[in-house]
Structure 1
Amino acid sequence: MFKIRSGTKYAKYQGEVSADLVAANSFPEIANQIIQEGGYTLDQIFNCDKTGLFWKKSLKATFISKKEKQAKGVKMAKDRFSVLLTCNASGDCLMKPLVIYKYKRPRAYKGCDMSKLNVYWEKTSKGYMSTELSKKWFDDCFVEDAKEYCRKKNVFFKVVLFLDNAPSHARFLVGRHPSVEVVFLPPNTTSKIQPLDQEIIANVKLLYYKYVHDKMRKETDKQEEVKEIAETVSSSEEEEEEGPPLAASAVPPGSLTASTSAVPPDSLTASTSAVPPDSLTPSTSAAPPDSLTPSASAAPPGSPAAPTIPAPPGVPSPQQ
């Protein structure tokens, strides 16, 4: 009812926010004017931008057996950290990157001095840039590194810093240091006029992933367990090509002989299965205990005696 009254409908977001082309086209003139008025050289013009790096990212392709139709998919890891990159227009000053992660000291760096790494390591609750962290980075990292660079280049310490208009970048950075002029890019223009987004960040990620995967491949080739697994897989494939024996393929795994599969386990001899346990001779089971001769049991009391059958030669007669 609310959607009917308000004239709204449900819809999904499509694509990204389009860039502001008007502001993107007009800002280069503003930047040139700032550079000319300040008298900045290429060594004194700096730009910084942050990106996300999925450090557990796996390859999109791999090698499989010729018998397999396709490679089984795996769930992509979402572990990431943020990286803030800073460089100048001349390209000879690549400042130490700022890495932001969820943990102050990961397990892999147990016992290591985090201040001696080749990056500035910082921690936030979710691994993203914050306002307080941008203030700390500006005071402790950027100003000190820029001052040291200008001293080595024998250049007067007066620089300009261009950065995007992100909420995490504190607005009070403007005018925070007398020798650093901070200029924010217009909103929704990063993809068009951000210098670090012009394939610089993409190349950094490419080199990082290439280094990690090459190191993984070299370490994997050294392991003896991987070689043993490969030999086991190859031997099993050869056995599958030969096929199992014909006699064993027709016999179920629970029975060793096909002829005994229908025989109950309590009876192994079919001839004795129908015989009661108290009688082992069927000829004497139906005769009364007082008469063991079948001829006497069948004659009535007043009838003449039945003729006597002579015994075979060599066999004594019952009357004897």
Structure 2
Amino acid sequence: MSGVKRKHVTLSLNEKLAVLQRLDKGESLQQIAKELNVGVTTIKDWRKNRKDIESYTITIDGENALKHRKTLKRAKLELLDNALWMWFCQERRKGTPISGPILKEKAIVLHKKLKAESEFAASEGWIDRWKNRHGVRFVSISGEKLSADNEAAREFCVKFQEIFKENEMLPCQVYNIDETGLNFKMLPTKTLAASNESVTGTKLMKDRITVAPCSNADGTHKLPLFVIGKSKKPRAFKNLNPSSLPVYYRNQKSAWMDCNLFKSWFFDEFVPSVEKNLKEKKLPARAILLLDNAPSHPPEQELVKGDIKALFLPPNVTSLIQPMDQGAIEWLKRRYRRKYISSILEKSEQGFNIFEAMKSLTIKDAIYTIAASWDELKPDTLRKSWRKLWPEVMTETDQTEDQQNNDSQEIVKDLQTLDPNVLASEVEDWITECDKDCDSYEELDDDQILAAVIETDNKETANEDSDCEEDELPTRISHTDAKNAFDIALQYIEQNPTSTPMDILWIKKWRDTAAKSRISCAKQKSITDFFTK
């Protein structure tokens, strides 16, 4: 054996992450060790400490910092360090101008609120070390907060084109998600007044959810909507199998998106769904999720699984080029309102007044209605929403009918049935403005930021019954009642000229399931009665 010692090599965090990704792809550990001139045991240690490495790199901003950082050494004032970083990210994503003095002042304020015993002056040295830890090359952003930045949008479009070409990606591998608030019970004020009921807008404003649609650029893969409500288990969900919901449902006390919820969705829903879709297409598991710079989104480095990664839009351009904001969300909400008004009209025909009809709508009804609306959104509508960012995605046949006008006309027609004095212009104002002040995420203040870094594992839970206090509890349907209902439904479908053989088979399947369950329960009851005699 050679007596020459191997030269000590220390790799950066960026290089260690690259090694871990190569191991994920099945490369030989021994071959990588030989290539990098490090010990096999060293690489095994990296693999063993993978969670620590990945967790630490979440707090590092940019490739430049990862290239130079080699250890996992934490800051002495770690809570302050993390709180200042969270505040900085939130302000940066809003496009707020930040200078060195502003950063120093905020660090001092946060330190005082932490009530730390040690003195702290936020010296230039501390600020420099903080910048180095997080890869912040500069913090001086002169000028006022910018409005929509057309030049930045054009620059990003060029960058975006380069990224997908370099990675040899197809439109089906590029996704976009965006959140929007939905006041799911709101009606035009004039229509409410016509009901002769005393209803305050404040009460109705509480009936809101956050909805986040996500699809790929060619419209061939729409993920189930990400829906956030206030309650973990609303009363309307009683006796409901959660897996039967047509959406990915989570809760937050204000029905807002936050970083923890988004990260859970990314790894639990988005990544597996995308991997499955690309596998079916016989494509590599490589994808990009394009998203805006909202404070509710974790940093890019935290949203990585193999070759499936997130890409942030720069500040101040989302209204100009974010795909979901270019017509898809507007279409989705308009279709929801059309279905919602139809349900109100149906209730009124059953003898309910408008307020009673609104009150009877539960979050479960809203979820199924918005999911049905999403299901009806066509691929060509989704492709058209990418026209500003990626015009090549559109095809020659993408000349969709003006479904929005059709929806508006139907909404006006139904509302005028409820109140003949409603004007079309008032309805259009309601459609476009009713969710205007309905935020989909919360901007954190200093106290909330500190609470988040002090107790990062503390997940807030909402009162399970908080958003449906007055709703009538759903009745559990017996097997006998279900079987009888399916018998009636089967007769109706068989007599309906628009039904298909698959419709009939589907109802027969569930009728037979209910019948078998009824017989099984009857047998079990007979056995129980026999032994209790």
Shorter-chain TM-score: which interval?
0.5 to 0.7
Per the alignment, residue 157 of structure 2 pairs with 28
Task: Find 1:100's aligned residue among 199, 223, 228.
Answer: 228
Partner of 2:321: 193
From 194, 204, 207, the equivalent of 2:335 is 207
Q: CA deviation at 1:172?
A: 4.9
- Give the secondary structure class of the aligned counterpart of 2:179: strand
Deviation at 1:80, TM superposition (A): 1.0
The DSSP-based 3-state class of the residue aligned with 2:346 is: helix
Which residue pairs with 1:184 in the alignment?
312
Q: 1:172 to 1:199 in 2, by over 3 A?
A: closer
| 1:263-278 equivalence runs, <5 A | none
User: Which of 145, 151, 160 is the matching residue for 2:288?
Assistant: 160
- Alpha-carbon spacing, 1:63–1:174, altered in 2? closer, same or farther (3 Å): closer
State the 1:59 CA deviation: 3.2
State the match for 2:245 in structure 1. Answer: 117
8 Å contact 1:20–1:189 — kept in the other structure?
Answer: yes
> Is the counterpart of residue 42 in structure 1 residue 174 in structure 2?
no
| CA spacing shift, 1:140–1:19, aligned 2, 3 Å | same
Q: Which has the higher contact order (CA 8 A, sep 6+)?
A: 2
Conserved? CA contact 1:99–1:121, under 8 Å: yes
Structure with the higher fraction of residues in helix conformation: 2
Distance between the aligned counterparts of 1:37 and 1:73, measured in 2?
A: 60
Please tell me whether the aligned partners of residues 105 and 114 of structure 1 are also in contact (alpha carbons under 8 angstroms): no
Call closer, same or farther: CA 1:86–1:155 in 2, change over 3 Å.
Answer: same
Residue 135 and residue 63 in structure 1: after superposition, are their counterparts in 2 closer, same or farther (change >3 A)?
A: closer
Percent identical among aligned pairs is 33
Once the two structures are TM-superposed, the CA of residue 63 in structure 1 deviates from its matched residue by: 10
8 A Cα contact 1:135 1:173, kept in partner: no
Look up the SS of the partner of 2:228 in the other structure.
strand
Select between 52-61 and 133-142 the one with higher mean Cα deviation.
52-61
Write out per-residue CA displacement over residues 130-169 of structure 1, whole angstroms, 9 at most, x where no aligned residue.
Answer: 1111111110010011112112323222111110011111
3-state SS in 1 of match to 2:330: helix
For residue 62 of structure 1, report the CA deviation from its aligned partner.
3.9
Which blocks of at least 5 consecutive residues in structure 1 are unaligned? 1-15, 66-70, 227-320
The letter of the residue matching 2:158 is E
Is structure 2 residue 183 aligned with structure 1 residue 54? yes
Q: List alignment gaps of at least 5 residues for structure 2.
A: 1-144, 354-533
User: Within 1, Cα distance between the matches of 2:252 and 2:209?
Assistant: 10
TM-score by length of 1: 0.60
Q: Return closer, same or farther for 1:60/1:149 CA change in 2, 3 Å cut-off.
A: farther
Q: C-alpha displacement at 1:215, in angstroms?
A: 1.5
Q: CA RMSD in A?
A: 2.5
Q: CA deviation at 1:94?
A: 1.0
Q: TM-score, normalised by structure 2?
A: 0.36
8 Å CA contact 2:175–2:217 kept in 1: the answer is yes
Question: Residue 159 of structure 1: SS of its match in structure 2?
Answer: strand
Aligned residue-pair number = 206
Alignment of 1:1-320 (within 5 A): 18-62=147-191, 74-76=199-201, 77-78=204-205, 79-174=207-302, 176-223=304-351
CA distance in 1, matches of 2:227, 2:349: 31
Cα deviation, residue 26, structure 1: 1.0
Report the secondary structure of 2:213's partner residue. Answer: strand
Q: In structure 2, what is the Cα distance between the partners aligned to 1:61 and 1:88?
A: 39
